[in-house]
Structure 1
Amino acid sequence: MKTSVGPPPTSAIDLFDDSTLLDPYPTYRALRDQGSAVWLERSGVYFIGRYADVRAALNDWRSFSSDQGIGLNPIINAAWDEALICQDPPIHTDRRRLIMEALGPVALKPVADTIASRASALAERIVAMGDFDAVTDLAHDLPVGVVMDLIGWPEDVRSQLLRLAEGSWNAAGPANARMETGLTRLQEMMALLADIYDQNRVTPDGFADKLIAAAHRGDISRDTAIGMLAGYVVAAFETTISAMAAGIWFFARNPDEWDKLRVDPRLAMGAANEIVRMETPLQNFARVTTGEVALSDGTILPQGARVIVSYASANRDQRQFDRPDAFRIDRREKQNLGFGHGPHGCAGQGLARMELTAVFTALAQRVARFEIVGPPDRALNNISRAFRRLAARAVPA
């Protein structure tokens, strides 16, 4: 129900300082409680964090456009001009179709057995290790061992792509030191992808090979193809790795939820969704309003406003989720926004869910419980949320 009409309230909160990035959820709640949108004085943007408003914005690309970039600085928005996430329909629709031919359910069905087999071997290895790093020992395995083959990256660049992908989302933040570092890493990654494209160095019949073939046919431009290749890097690495490591964190802290999964492995898909809701790998993207927009509480956003659309805040909104800060793998509220929503919903979400489900199903058959055995090392990032290292222990069943 609308309770106010007029411009949004203001806040002096710095959404991107270290202390906020370490634990952003209390800040998100404070901003949600101020209203449907809040003007962030330090960043010079509006913040939208309530579930109803975030979901509506993601559905309404005509009012909340991606065409002027989804970052919070002009450098990245110019650099990503050809990226799929910075396009609106109808251009976005045509280009996304190429991605979905590779990452959609039909294309992924033949690889399900491969992912399940790899997940089973990974679970056996984790149990044998006992103590392990949830990031490097666990979360890297399927993206590096399976997904890179599916995409078709040449062997000699795989470790380099993984290194460059880590932290590159910093480039989409506001002008700060993290943004500068992320921009350098992103530029290196784009240069590497351009070289791969120009030398046609991908393996035959992989996702990347098909995309490059579309560019050679003239369906898309070279720059568009390179931008879409970057999307494959994100789909393969950043989000899935972040979510998988976070799953170990949550199950170690919530052993009763792990017991639920061990009793009923069919809950693995629900567990994957709940992990992504609780620790949304890509926390925030920007949009630009194309006209005046009224939000759910009556707040009016002006035309041409750059706004932060916060998936992570929406996923902890107490207006939508019962006990939103509680990790519950059998949660009834299924419509979380961790993979986005609407035209720009994550094209790789089917692959990510497949990997997460397979790994936690395999672990549930072999592990009695997880323990955190060292201080967690967060990788502070303007946009993404992830662990850099997470020392854990798997206690055999």
Structure 2
Amino acid sequence: MTTSALSTDVPISHADPFGLDVLENPLPFQADLRDAGPVVYLDRYDVYAMGRYEQVHAALTDWQGFQSAAGVGLSNFRYETPWRPPSVLLETDAPHHDAPRAVASKVLGPRALTKLRAAWFADAETLVDQVLSTHSEFDAVTELAAAFPLRVFPDAVGIPEAGRENLLPYGDHLFNAFGPVNSLVDKGLPRVGELSSWVKAQCARDMLSNGGFGAEIWAAADRGDITHDQAPLIVRSLLSAGVDTTVNGLAALLYALANNPLQWAELRSNPSALAKTAFDEAVRWESPVQTFFRTATADIEVGGTIIPDGQKILMFLGSANRDPRRWTDPDVFDLTRNPSGHVGYGMGIHQCVGQHVARLEAEALLTALAHRIESIEPTAPATRHLNNTLRSWQSIPVRVTLRQL
């Protein structure tokens, strides 16, 4: 599209939201995006962008006008062939989305998770004891935020022990691939075939243990709730999106608490009441999933701008979650805030189906930490792991002081 074909009043930005400097610190770019207007044209990628909460929330909930079936990344499936079979949860719309979503929602819902609660809380206590028994200074990313989901979630899905180290690099490439082909995508290309084959193999019925999420999804296919072709794709969605996002949500939470000692003291005094709120506030504050795309299904007017049919729209979830038009002091991590309504899990029919799983993991880990730790503080600057879609962490060095029991 040429700029002459744009609405005359649409702001134009030459910035690259996928530039490494912006990915390192997206907050200045996001503030400029919000200030520029409700819709901004990013000429580098020929996409329209939304950074304000009102427009992002509205687009997420309007699946008829802003479709996912053309891909939730920069690639437009109307004209391009996806690099892997599209997700039956993320990259379909009604009616094709309905049955897989219903099955996944039941398998991962709060009622189904009650049977895992006691075991996950015990696993969290064991992990925390193991970490604290050897040292008081450690990396909160590798020792806790990544270790705990990789400890409990693959077991819950029912995949074998061998090869689980492939989950994080596979997810890293998947989320990079939602953006443009840049150095971050290039970095993952040498292993993409190997990792994709491994993940595909784990989704087969005979690889999954009885009683796990994966086996329940295949049982739903046997009942006719979904097709047998859809079953492995739903399992793949769990392995694709169920680890990296939670790891980064937990890392954001630990970073926030290490840098806000009064907030940690508040949480430690009442973890059963505040753990879930703390995790949701961390997801709002850091937005592990920063961006997703949609595609206009017709000429759609948003904020005085006409977005043409077939045009890609880039929604900045992280920007919406820090929009001062919606949130008071949005840059502050605040446990007294009610973070409900944030778009860190998406919104509408494509809202993250595994959010209850992530919340349970966070509640278990925070409760275990609150029982053992008096204080937590940073010992060195945290470092980022750059990804085109995720707000990720490489390292969060911390020091803890144990509670006197």
TM-score range, shorter chain: over 0.9
Deviation at 1:360, TM superposition (A): 1.4
Q: State yes or no: 1:270 paired with 2:277.
A: yes
Map of 1:228 onto structure 2: 234
SS in 2 for 1:110: helix
Map of 1:22 onto structure 2: 24
Residue 86 of structure 1 aligns with an amino acid whose one-letter code is: E
Map of 1:238 onto structure 2: 244
Map of 1:384 onto structure 2: 390
* Alignment equivalent of 1:285, drawn from 274, 282, 292: 292
Cα 1:267–1:254 shift into 2, 3 Å: same
Cα 1:45–1:114 shift into 2, 3 Å: same
Map of 2:3 onto structure 1: none
Cα 1:56–1:187 shift into 2, 3 Å: farther
* Alignment equivalent of 1:189, drawn from 174, 191, 195: 195
Map of 2:377 onto structure 1: 371
Cα 1:163–1:174 shift into 2, 3 Å: closer
Deviation at 1:124, TM superposition (A): 2.8
| Aligned mates of 1:185, 1:43 — CA distance in 2 | 26
Q: What per-residue deviation string (whole Å, max 9, x for no partner) do you get for residues 88-111 of structure 1?
A: 011111111121121111111111
SS in 1 for 2:94: coil
Deviation at 1:343, TM superposition (A): 0.3
Q: What per-residue deviation string (whole Å, max 9, x for no partner) do you get for residues 48-78 of structure 1?
A: 1110111111110000000101111356745
| Aligned mates of 2:173, 2:372 — CA distance in 1 | 32
| Aligned mates of 1:109, 1:62 — CA distance in 2 | 34
| Aligned mates of 2:268, 2:118 — CA distance in 1 | 21
Retained in 2: the 8 A contact 1:6–1:300?
no
Map of 1:321 onto structure 2: 327
Map of 1:334 onto structure 2: 340
Map of 2:119 onto structure 1: 114
Map of 2:98 onto structure 1: 93
Q: What per-residue deviation string (whole Å, max 9, x for no partner) do you get for residues 318-371 of structure 1?
A: 100001001101203421111111100001000101111221122123222212
Cα 1:332–1:170 shift into 2, 3 Å: same
Residue 373 of structure 2 aligns with an amino acid whose one-letter code is: V
| Aligned mates of 2:399, 2:270 — CA distance in 1 | 22
| Aligned mates of 1:239, 1:307 — CA distance in 2 | 22
| Aligned mates of 1:76, 1:268 — CA distance in 2 | 42
Retained in 2: the 8 A contact 1:290–1:303?
yes
Map of 1:300 onto structure 2: 306
| Aligned mates of 1:49, 1:183 — CA distance in 2 | 30
| Aligned mates of 1:42, 1:290 — CA distance in 2 | 22
Structure 1 gaps, min length 5: none
Q: State yes or no: 1:102 paired with 2:107.
A: yes
Q: State yes or no: 1:259 paired with 2:261.
A: no
CA RMSD in angstroms, aligned pairs only: 2.1
SS in 2 for 1:239: helix
| Aligned mates of 2:8, 2:362 — CA distance in 1 | 43
Retained in 2: the 8 A contact 1:131–1:391?
yes
SS in 1 for 2:44: coil
Retained in 2: the 8 A contact 1:171–1:183?
no
Map of 2:153 onto structure 1: 147
| Aligned mates of 1:87, 1:340 — CA distance in 2 | 15
Map of 1:50 onto structure 2: 52
Q: How does the TM-score come out when normalised to structure 1?
A: 0.92
Residue 289 of structure 2 aligns with an amino acid whose one-letter code is: L
| Aligned mates of 2:339, 2:377 — CA distance in 1 | 28
Cα 1:381–1:245 shift into 2, 3 Å: same
Deviation at 1:214, TM superposition (A): 4.2
SS in 2 for 1:47: strand
Cα 1:303–1:166 shift into 2, 3 Å: closer
Retained in 2: the 8 A contact 1:47–1:308?
yes
Retained in 1: the 8 A contact 2:345–2:352?
yes
Q: How does the TM-score come out when normalised to structure 2?
A: 0.90
**Percent of residue pairs bearing the same amino acid type:** 36
| Aligned mates of 1:195, 1:332 — CA distance in 2 | 42
* Alignment equivalent of 2:217, drawn from 207, 211, 228: 211
Cα 1:126–1:394 shift into 2, 3 Å: farther
Q: In the TM superposition, what are the counterparts of 1:6-21 in structure 2 within 5 Å? A: 7-21=9-23
SS in 1 for 2:180: coil
Retained in 2: the 8 A contact 1:69–1:78?
no
